[in-house]
Amino acid sequence: MTKEWISLAVFVLCYVLFVFLPGKRSWVACAGGALLIATGVLTWQDAFFIKISWNVMGLFFGTLILAEIFMMSRVPAVMAEWLVDKAKSTRVAMLILCALAGVISMFVENVAVVLLLAPVALSLADKLKVSPVPLLIGIAVSSNLQGTATMIGDPPSMILAGYMRMGFWDFFAYEGRPGIFFAVQIGAVASLLVLAWLFRGHRTKSVLLAQEQARSWVPASLLGLLVVGLSFATLFDPDFKWFAGTYTLILGAIALVWFRVIARWGSLRKLAKTLDWDTTFFLIGIFVLVGGLSDSGWMDKLASGMVGWVGSNAALAFTVIVLFSVLVSGFVDNVPFLLVMIPVAQKVADQIGAPVPLLMFGLLIGACLGGNLTPIGASANVVTLGILKKSGYQVGFKEFMRIGVPFTVAAVVSACAFVWWVWGV
């Protein structure tokens, strides 16, 4: 078997295992990468030093540390409870929690946001004697949506930023035009209207919740410094090779020292156990897997096939990429899919003369928002259903999709319409 077919076979096998063994995805990805090295598809030097984007990995892992300590500070919980207490009705309180989940997810990993806001949501539902299912699902899908809005919100955003050499503010304004941030906000408004209709029966007066106390505002300040520092990343590192990852890791190290020496909220070992090591090693393995697939020429073949189907029609290419991304990401992890499709979208744009940001932003929106279609499309969804199950609520595909499908359709259509208005006409 040639290297070309080995790389494809290993990738397909790993992708199948991601679907059937989601709890072992990091092991599968790393084993697949090791197999490519063992079979000679890649050398270990090429895999370790070239295929893995260590700048993205540094950005991701440093953000993990800052976000975890930020959650431990209880500042987000204080914000959530204060906002709920100010709401005029239960429906407004539910919408506020969903919107807040989205805002926090611009800077914090989605699963962490769900874990943070779930107690607030459960407490509100318990006091009102209503089911917490719609609210918790609304929080989960809202967090998945807004993770797309900023450079540090979600791994796919970090990956796209690395490929396109985008800085933090490029998500707000790119090449003199409104960036993907505003597309996501339009999607957020449209999806909140959907949630407002779904929550229409909850018109009772909101009840006061027991107010949390912030333990410290230092972690929030460090996150602010992260945003400020990344704002200048393109000045120091226009090729996105080292600054973002290095700077984020330095802030993460400062946070760890503060956590252990000044805050003394627990041991570093206990903190380390709470970090998302699974996604960390999953990303490392996926970089190698996709690197082997790319070197074997499969990306070129996929791009050529897509160009042959859409011709020179940029609108059709944009629509196909968005729909394909949404449907695939509704059932499988969006990280390997995005890594495969980014160079494909680049080649399609080059061959048909379409604006690269048009296809790239459409790809990111579809890949990230498509996870809201089903309960297995995103990690935050799986965690949410686990929380509900422990609380005595068994949620199936049909009940989840009753919220997830209209939410996703409203968000994707409105966000992509904005992207097309900015880049396609």
Q: Along the 425 residues of the chain, how does pLDDT read in single tens digits? A: 688 899 989 999 998 888 788 778 899 999 999 999 999 999 999 999 889 999 889 988 998 899 889 888 888 878 777 777 777 788 888 898 899 899 988 988 787 788 778 877 887 777 777 788 999 999 999 999 998 999 988 889 999 999 999 989 999 999 999 999 999 999 999 999 999 999 887 776 666 666 668 899 999 999 899 988 988 887 788 888 899 999 999 999 999 999 999 998 989 999 999 888 988 898 899 899 988 888 887 777 877 888 888 778 899 999 999 998 998 888 777 788 888 889 889 989 998 999 999 999 999 999 999 989 888 778 788 788 888 887 788 888 888 999 999 999 999 999 999 999 999 86
Task: Look up the pTM and report it.
Answer: 0.83
Instruction: Please report the pLDDT score of residue 74 as a whole number.
Output: 83
Q: What is the 3-state secondary structure (H, E, C) of the chain?
A: CCHHHHHHHHHHHHHHHHHHCHHHHHHHHHHHHHHHHHCCCCCHHHHHHHHCCHHHHHHHHHHHHHHHHHHHCCHHHHHHHHHHHHCCCHHHHHHHHHHHHHHHHCCCCHHHHHHHHHHHHHHHHHHHCCCCHHHHHHHHHHHHHHCCCCCCCCHHHHHHHHHHCCCHHHHCEECCEECHHHHHHHHHHHHHHHHHHHCCCCCCCCCCCCCCCCCCCHHHHHHHHHHHHHHCHHHHCCCCCCHHHHHHHHHHHHHHHHHHHHHCCCCHHHHHHHCCHHHHHHHHHHHHHHHHHHHCCHHHHHHHHHHHHHCCCHHHHHHHHHHHHHHHHCCCCHHHHHHHHHHHHHHHHHHHCCCHHHHHHHHHHHHHHHHHCCCCCCHHHHHHHHHHHHCCCCCCHHHHHHHHHHHHHHHHHHHHHHHHHHHHC
CA-based nearest residue to 19, from 395, 333, 370 = 333
Burial class for 12, CB neighbours closer than 10 Å (0-12, 13-18, 19+):
exposed
Report d(CA 111, CA 279) in Å as an integer.
11
Let me know: does 281 contact 29? Beta carbons within 8 Å. yes
How much is the pLDDT for 212?
A: 67
* pLDDT for residue 103: 92
Report the pLDDT value the prediction gives residue 205, as an integer from 0 to 100: 67
Q: Tokens 């490519």 map to which residue?
A: 36
Closest of 405, 400, 362, 379 to residue 184, by C-alpha? 362
Q: What is the pLDDT of residue 183?
A: 96
CA atoms within 13 A on the CB side of 127: 16
First vs last C-alpha separation in the chain: 46
pLDDT of the residue at 293: 83
What's the rounded Cα separation, in Å, for the pair 272 and 20?
28
Question: Measured between alpha carbons, how far is residue 312 from residues 304, 316, 364, 423 in Å?
Answer: 12, 9, 22, 16
Q: How far is CA 179 from the centre of its chain?
A: 17
For 246-255, b where at least 16 C-beta lie within 10 A, e where not — what string?
Answer: bbbbebbeeb
